Chain A
Amino acid sequence: MATLRVCSLYPDLMNIYADRGNIAVLRARCEWRGLGFEHLASGLGEPLDPEAADFFYMGGGQDRDQVAVAEDMVETKREALHAAQDRDAVILAVCGGYQLLGSSYQLGDLALPGVGLVDLRTVREPGPRLIGNCAISSDLGSGPRIIAGFENHGGRTYLGEGEPPLGRVLNGFGNNGRDGFEGVHRGNTIGTYLHGPLLPKNIWLADRLIELALGIELEPLADDSLEEAAHMSARRAAGV
């Protein structure tokens, strides 16, 4: 049987919104199907082996931690991440992690470097943080589906010309509260502001990402009624 190898990037720093919920769901979904599951981590100063994992995950962090991570990521992990992207590993970056995927992130007077996996830039603009439940419509190759979650970000993200978003905002702010786009989706690289435990709220997405990471099709599990009810609960909170 196949084994899903997940590598968390900076798990001790980039975990501010209960990001471990995503890992818990990936693990359970694999184990319940008899698939193997391995969880690795790569922190500050540690090299990254692009072949060692099929799924790279990065969550959000506090501003101060994000500064340290941005510099380290460019220095020690940029090439490995590009190599992982080229071999179609899934890269899921949420919230603070998402902001570091692009070319740069303007944080106050600081311009944080990005790893340049996708074409986007993030800036701080006057105005309040964008906070609230959010729902988007997204197609990850299995037809249009809804992703529901919670966003809380000061930065505004703008995608480069022609760079595909993860989805269209149905309710909420999305990348910048203006253009109706949320997240980014290039190949198997996905960034989103729907933070923290995103996969528990959208089990279909967890399963889809496992499929993309392993290049297989999954059989549905016998009883996903609670998962479906939780998804509907998150959608209801987001008004969709």
Chain B
Amino acid sequence: MMRLKLAIARALRVLTRRVGRRGGTTLPGRVLLRLDPRTIAVLGKRLERGSVVVSATNGKTTTSAMLAAVLERGGAEVVNNRAGSNMNWGVATALLDAGDAPGQIGLFEVDEAWLAPVARDLDPSLVLLSNLFRDQLDRYGELELLADRWAELVAERDGRSTFVLNADDPLVADLGRDRRRVVYFGVEDRSHSLESLEHASDSKRCRNCGHEYLYDAVYLGHLGRYRCPNCGRERPQPQVAADKVTLRGMSGSDVRITTPAGAIELSLPLPGLYNVYNALAATAAALELGASPAQVREALGEFAAAFGRVERLRVNGREVAILLVKNPAGANEVLRTLTLEDGALDLWIALNDGIADGRDISWIWDADFEVLAGRARHITCSGTRAEEMALRLKYAGVDGEIAVERDLARSLDSAVAGGNGAPLYALPTYTALLELRDLLADRGVARRWSD
């Protein structure tokens, strides 16, 4: 029976991809799950080397791509959902694509809300959890509830999975307490500490007793060195740690990572501390899966950006760098990294309110667009809620010229044309990124997203 269902789904896959555009990464999996809800469990068993799942609010696509690059450098056959299709149907489609060749390992990024059901089906040998930030409250509900659901899953899988966890995120680190197989990663370079918690910080209170945490260092959002002065819970000591980090603006970072297998001097071609965290997470997981430090250094040293995550393209002769923004913590990191660049910035910000973006655009008032004040030359606002994005910038004190054009193609063209030789930084929300990708693919500037 399963063979017939697979044949139907495969035929659909051929059809949707021939038609082109999106859908090829989701529709076959959706149909397959409809035909048989056990699809992921059944197909997952065909993976000879088992599977790994990666989840986080921010960075799961990049972290998964980094981990895949390291494993592939070691000769592994990696099955993954590369296009960021990270609900259960995306995983099902990837498993369908994989077939039953021997020696494969599954590596799946999974949406935070889908983590528990997908992990139950896949029975992964390793679960990598990086961070939980305020994101799409209309879809996920409160952060603490999401953390509770993760905690249930971790308790259930204790002894069956190794957990690779971010020591610097109290919501995530807490999941590993009293668990059998846990590897922690974290940042140990205090020169990157912010002066205080960012406005949008969550999880300021101890998961155990509710008292407010004290932070010695804050690196990003609520990530840092924390302890509870009431019950004594504190950040666990990371086994895989970035103890020397030099940020080189948009061009990348130099990072020394200490690990039980020795130190790794990494030259990372992706910018910002958030990508240092992604690299740390991928390193910790890769070493746990048997990769060597040299493999990590080489694969991450020449890592190319994942879909829309600091991707660089040329549009009408001008360099355009695409940086996905989707929630306050992620947007703050992107903005902070941009302000490391010299000179006045040209930006194109596309704010959509599709279901995959979160229908609620309140989050733009939590993100610190104030850092652009005095730093922007020209900003074009686009997307379904373009006017409200522009208003946010006005009240953030951004003094550059602000243009509003809801249509993506028209706004991009005028933003590109208004250039002064410097790159244009394109900051789309998720569905705006998909539209942008289609638009650029139609023009032959970028590859189709399912390629």
Contact = CB atoms under 8 A, between A and B. Distances in A.
B190 interface: no
B366 A18 contact: yes
Nearest to B204: A12
A195 B362 contact: yes
A24 B385 CA distance: 19
B199 A20 contact: yes
Contact of B388 (A28, A196, A200): A200
B394 interface: yes
A237 B353 contact: yes
Question: Which range holds the interface residue count of chain B?
Answer: 35 or more
B107 interface: no
Nearest to A29: B395
A178 interface: no
Contact of B362 (A18, A24, A232, A233): A18
B362 A197 contact: yes
B359 interface: yes
A20 B365 contact: yes
Interface stretch (B15-23, B135-143, B157-165, B264-272): B135-143
A197 B360 contact: no
Interface stretch (A108-116, A137-145, A156-164, A222-230): A222-230
B409 interface: no
Q: Could you say which of A133, A196, A230, A234 has the most chain B C-beta atoms within 10 Å of its C-beta?
A: A230
B363 A18 contact: yes
Interface string A1-38: 00000000000100011101100110010000000000
Contacts of A129: 141
Nearest to A62: B142
Q: Could you say which of B359, B360, B366 has the most chain A C-beta atoms within 10 Å of its C-beta?
A: B360
Interface string A118-135: 000000000001011100
Interface in A187-240: 195-197, 200-201, 226-227, 229-230, 232-234, 237
A225 to B, nearest CB: 10
B418 interface: no
A132 B362 contact: no
B323 interface: no
A150 interface: yes
A189 B406 CA distance: 37
B198 to A, nearest CB: 12
Contacts of B137: 16-17, 152
Contacts of B365: 18, 20-21, 24, 196-197, 200
A12 B198 CA distance: 11
Given A18-B366, A20-B199, A24-B365, A150 B391 contact: no
A17 B137 CA distance: 8
Question: Which range holds the interface residue count of chain A?
Answer: 20 to 34
Contacts of B199: 20
B247 interface: no
A16 B200 CA distance: 8
B364 interface: yes
B362 A196 contact: yes
A52 to B, nearest CB: 24
Contact of B387 (A20, A24, A226): A226
A131 B402 CA distance: 31
A150 B366 contact: no
Q: Could you say which of A21, A129, A233 has the most chain B C-beta atoms within 10 Å of its C-beta?
A: A233
A236 to B, nearest CB: 9
Nearest to A233: B387
B218 interface: no
A62 B359 contact: no
A64 B209 CA distance: 11
Interface string B385-397: 1111011101110
A200 B392 contact: yes
A63 B144 contact: yes
Nearest to B328: A18
Nearest to A230: B391
B359 A150 contact: yes
Interface in B131-176: 134, 137-138, 141-144
Contacts of B433: none
B404 interface: yes
Contacts of B395: 21, 24-25, 28, 200
A223 to B, nearest CB: 10
Contacts of A63: 142, 144
Contacts of A227: 391
Contacts of B359: 131-133, 150, 237
A230 B386 CA distance: 8
B353 A226 contact: no
Contacts of B232: none
Interface in B367-394: 384-388, 390-392, 394
Contacts of A200: 365, 388, 391-392, 395
B210 interface: yes
A232 B386 CA distance: 11
A17 B394 contact: no
B143 A233 contact: no
Nearest to A63: B142
Contacts of A65: 205
Nearest to A149: B362
Contact of B390 (A24, A64, A230, A237): A230
Contacts of B363: 18
Given A20-B365, A132-B138, A226-B402, 17 more contacts: A17-B137, A17-B360, A18-B363, A24-B395, A24-B396, A62-B142, A64-B144, A64-B205, A150-B362, A152-B138, A197-B365, A226-B387, A230-B391, A232-B387, A233-B388, A237-B359, A237-B385
Which 7 pairs between the two chains have the least Cβ-Cβ distance? A21-B365, A18-B365, A196-B362, A230-B391, A18-B366, A229-B387, A233-B387
18 contacts: A12-B204, A16-B142, A18-B200, A18-B328, A18-B363, A18-B364, A21-B392, A24-B396, A63-B142, A65-B205, A131-B359, A150-B360, A150-B361, A197-B364, A197-B365, A233-B387, A237-B353, A237-B385
